[in-house]
Amino acid sequence: MSQFQLIGIFDEESAVTAAIKAAREQRLRIVEVYTPYAVHGLERALGLKRSRLALVCLIAGAMGAILKMWFEIWTAAIDWPVDVGGKPWNSLPAFVPITFEVMVLFAGLFTVGAFLIVSRLGPGKRPRLIHPRVTDDRFALVIEETDAAFDVARVRRLLESHGAVEVTELLAEEVPA
């Protein structure tokens, strides 16, 4: 079955946010929203759940700190104990600065890696632009036509009533690559 998508192009972020709220009230399936910059409150309007990247960051940072402490204690106290100035071999206060740095390094690298994997952004990934000006000053709202009872004219009127300057209908495979 071919999937058609209705694409509304907007001039203002408030217009696209209002159109999203109206589309959700009508139980329409919103596929994607394209914006030239981050729009405050857009994730709330779309009903998205909180990101789990903060949890990934916490776990990766804790893992980095634990591995670093283990490695430093093992190196200084077990594998190669060196008596320097009468300090104990497993002097934890001496390990704190570098442990913090390794914790931040692990947290940052794992968070960026998780973000790239979840977003499916890899090397050579080409952007799919719905409209040529969506990266400059336009906002795009993509609504999927879910079944044969989908009323294109009603949804077109809904988008235009919320300030859409252009509404087009495309086959999902025809979306520009």
- Structure-block tokens of residue 34: 């394209």
**CATH code of the domain covering residue 134:** 3.30.70.120
- Determine which helix (DSSP H) or strand (DSSP E) holds 141, and give its type and residue range: strand 139-144
* DSSP annotation of 175: S
Q: Read off the pLDDT of residues 48-61 as tens digits, 9 standing for 90 and up.
A: 998 899 999 999 99
- pLDDT score of 1: 43
Query: What DSSP element (H or E) covers 142?
Result: strand 139-144
* Both structure tokens of 77: 């106290």
Q: Are residues 43 and 57 in the same domain?
A: no
How many domains does the chain contain in total?
Answer: 2
Among candidate residues 86, 101, 118, the one where a domain is terminated: 118
**Domain span at 31:** 4-48+125-174
Lowest mean per-residue pLDDT among 20-29, 84-93, 100-109, 162-171: 84-93
Q: Are residues 31 and 9 in the same domain?
A: yes
Nearest-angstrom CA–CA distance, 153 and 165: 15
Task: State mean pLDDT over 139-164.
Answer: 89
Q: Are residues 89 and 145 in the same domain?
A: no
Mark out the alpha helices in the chain (DSSP H runs): 13-25, 42-46, 53-73, 92-118, 152-161
127 band by pLDDT with thresholds 50, 70 and 90: confident
Q: Are residues 130 and 108 in the same domain?
A: no
Do 9 and 43 have their domain in common? yes
66, 106: one domain: yes
Same domain membership, residue 129 and residue 43: yes
Quick check: 110 and 55 in contact, CB under 8 A? Answer: no
